[in-house]
Structure 1
Amino acid sequence: MIALLSIISLLLTALFLSVLIYLIIGWRAVKTPQIKLSGYSTKVTVLIAARNEEEKIHLTIEDILAQDYPKALTEIIIVDDHSTDRTSAIISSYADRGVKLLQLKEDKPLNSYKKKAIAEAIKLSGGDLMVATDADCRMGRQWLSSIVGYFELHNPVMISSPVSYFEEKSLFERMQALEFYSLIATGGAFIGNGHASTCNGANIAYRKDVFYEVGGFKGIDDLASGDDELLLQKVAVTYPGKIGFLKHYEAVVFTHAKPNLKEFMQQRRRWASKSVKYKDKKLWHW
């Protein structure tokens, strides 16, 4: 029995070390890239799906409006996903500054209103590159220009960029931040190894034509989550090696950790719901 336990322990240790080495190799393979600093030509559509975000959405909008990317090449579409607070009114107040409000009105229940919101925004968009973020995120002035600069110089069809927690106020939030950093780094490492598998929908970009080429959210629209990494995996099947991870500080967006265990668990259950599609061979052709 002792010998068996020793063998199991050695195998588990070997497995852990193998995974760790794999992730280290992948993370090191993702270099901080050169990015184009001027002469941009890509029309960008910033996509945001918002529901009951009256406390923070004005900050996100102000950050996007403050971007140093050319205004003539920037379109902002925010979809109000059945908010019951002042979210819609706040978005509308920015209409004279070019922010477009789309009201999502669905009579029948859906498992993922967010995917529907994003799909409707893409349908109305005039951009060639869709850049998606969340309604409670903050970003620096060079966020868009760093993404487009990378896109125009390296020609990926989809870009996963970093997301970070900030303004942590408690030990629980700091613990979440450490876990979250590891998830983001793992996603980057897998992309570095040529096996794109995970990303975060608060900071992704993809070509509009590629979104439609892979069928958009068809096949994953029955899940509450998955507008990010399940779409990433669909794109990876059609365009292997054409997904990039933008390891650059200017490309980071910042968001808040969950304030309590209940909200944290709700978030993780939502994320876990998409795992049922990871081995769907009809979807991924594996």
Structure 2
Amino acid sequence: MYCLLWLVLMAWATWRLATRRGAATPVARPTPWPRVSILVAARNEEGNLPRCLGSLRSLEYPASLLEILVGDDASTDRTRAVAEASLAGYEGNYRVLAITDNLGRARGKANVLAHLARAATADYLLITDADIAVPPTWVAAMLAHAAPGVGTVTGLTVIAGPGLLARLQRLDWLLSLALIQVGTEAGQPLTAMGNNMLVIRPAYQATGGYEALPFSVTEDFALFKAVNAHGFGFRQLFEPAVRATSLPAASWGSLVQQRLRWLRGVAALPWHVQAGLVFFSGYWLVALGLALAGRPGLALAALALKILSSYALTVAASQRAGIARPAWWLVPAFEAYSLALTTHLSLVRLLGRRGIEWKGRTYR
């Protein structure tokens, strides 16, 4: 019964994603085009910044209306010098700020963004990360969904990189964000992505800014919740015009650390959303139970149906995102990857590890 319900829900999600039911529609763009501040927090990012800042320099938006602010968070490498060299000669306004003190309750990346938001001079704050490359259409496409009353707009982010681990992460992000998109279009405020996010200044200021929010290693979700709590709406987009590209976690260890950070955000989700996550992640346990109960044929059939339904969602998500669909054999490999990652994370949690390593710092 569980497997049947799971498959029905996956089929429903695939149908909604493919038919764009509930998707946000653009609004008339602000006239004249508004000034926009782009905030980039960077700590030890000398290798990633040229790609990120190069994409910002290629935006199809008047450079005179753009302000790029890079916050150097006490880097121990050449982050500041690389940022300044990458932006040298840019026609728009830009600054590289050294972040040396904490504002209010903010720490880490949230503290850098708090400083950058104070330094920003525009009413539209676009936030991205140093390991992200945005499309040329990014600014205009995000602004097209800044309807009256909307506080945040979140774009789509996909993974790009060589190797099997990168390809599995790409599929992981695609499937996860596809399900989030379906939930969002059904009216559920699930989450936001701080590497591809627009925040309207009145919404940001209503929260008191990052310096007024409780510290969180998932600072984007903390801000998203606070903005929603102040009565502002949200938009979640799943389209090529706002499709940013992220570099993958370079190793299994860094991937585990990333997901441990994300689990902090999951713990703050409403109970019914957490229940949904538990429901969707329990399929392997049910299949294992069937096998242990002496019904291996049913267990194999359940797993085959799971792989087929996941591939169908992958096809729908790829088409809507405007990317090539992953090779079919990645879906079975993804099931093994997901099981291994879930097991690893569960063991770490059971062993009572509390600290999270992030950019050379430990957070508890």
Matches of 1:21 and 1:250, distance apart in 2: 26
Pairing 1:62–2:62 present: no
Pairing 1:129–2:124 present: yes
1:156 corresponds to: 150
2:185 corresponds to: 192
- Which of 175, 186, 191 in structure 2 is aligned with 1:182? 175
Q: How many residues align?
A: 265
Check the 8 A contact 2:41/2:109 in 1, yes or no.
Answer: yes
Residue 6 of structure 2 aligns with an amino acid whose one-letter code is F
Residue 257 of structure 2 aligns with an amino acid whose one-letter code is Q
- Which of 7, 10, 32 in structure 2 is aligned with 1:20? 10
TM-score scaled by length of structure 2: 0.65
1:5 corresponds to: none
Shift of 1:279: 5.2
Matches of 2:94 and 2:166, distance apart in 1: 32
Matches of 2:263 and 2:202, distance apart in 1: 28
Q: Deviations over 1:102-132 (max 9, x none)?
A: 1111389x88410000011111111111110
2:231 corresponds to: 239
Shift of 1:208: 1.1
| SS in structure 1 at match of 2:97 | strand
* Unaligned runs of at least 5 residues, structure 1: 1-9, 281-286
* Unaligned runs of at least 5 residues, structure 2: 272-364
Matches of 1:268 and 1:246, distance apart in 2: 23
| SS in structure 1 at match of 2:198 | strand
Residue 52 of structure 1 aligns with an amino acid whose one-letter code is N
Matching of residues 269-284 of structure 1 within 5 Å: 269-278=260-269
Identity %: 20
- Which of 252, 259, 262 in structure 1 is aligned with 2:253? 262
Q: 1:15 to 1:112 in 2, by over 3 A?
A: farther
| SS in structure 2 at match of 1:99 | strand
Residue 187 of structure 1 aligns with an amino acid whose one-letter code is I
Q: Deviations over 1:14-43 (max 9, x none)?
A: 652565366457643343744657954322
Q: 1:112 to 1:186 in 2, by over 3 A?
A: farther
Matches of 1:133 and 1:126, distance apart in 2: 17
Shift of 1:173: 1.5
Matches of 1:161 and 1:107, distance apart in 2: 29
Matches of 1:41 and 1:217, distance apart in 2: 27
Shift of 1:155: 6.0
2:113 corresponds to: 118
Q: 1:19 to 1:218 in 2, by over 3 A?
A: farther
Residue 204 of structure 1 aligns with an amino acid whose one-letter code is M
Check the 8 A contact 1:52/1:84 in 2, yes or no.
Answer: yes
Q: Deviations over 1:234-278 (max 9, x none)?
A: 2223336x2112232121110111121111001111111233433
Matches of 1:111 and 1:266, distance apart in 2: 21
Q: 1:274 to 1:155 in 2, by over 3 A?
A: closer
| SS in structure 2 at match of 1:132 | strand
Matches of 1:233 and 1:38, distance apart in 2: 26
Matches of 1:69 and 1:111, distance apart in 2: 31
| SS in structure 1 at match of 2:219 | coil
Structural RMSD (CA): 2.8
Shift of 1:92: 2.5
Residue 139 of structure 2 aligns with an amino acid whose one-letter code is L
Matches of 1:36 and 1:68, distance apart in 2: 18
- Which of 2, 23, 28 in structure 2 is aligned with 1:31? 23
Matches of 1:80 and 1:174, distance apart in 2: 30
Query: Which protein has greater RCO, CA pairs closer than 8 Å, 6+ apart?
Result: 1
- Which of 198, 208, 221 in structure 2 is aligned with 1:205? 198
TM-score scaled by length of structure 1: 0.82
Check the 8 A contact 1:80/1:101 in 2, yes or no.
Answer: yes
Shift of 1:146: 1.3
Q: 1:121 to 1:254 in 2, by over 3 A?
A: same
Check the 8 A contact 1:187/1:196 in 2, yes or no.
Answer: no
| SS in structure 2 at match of 1:215 | coil
2:207 corresponds to: 214
Pairing 1:170–2:160 present: no
Q: 1:14 to 1:203 in 2, by over 3 A?
A: same
Residue 74 of structure 2 aligns with an amino acid whose one-letter code is H
Q: Which moved more, 1:41-50 or 1:179-188?
A: 179-188
Matching of residues 131-150 of structure 1 within 5 Å: 131-150=126-145
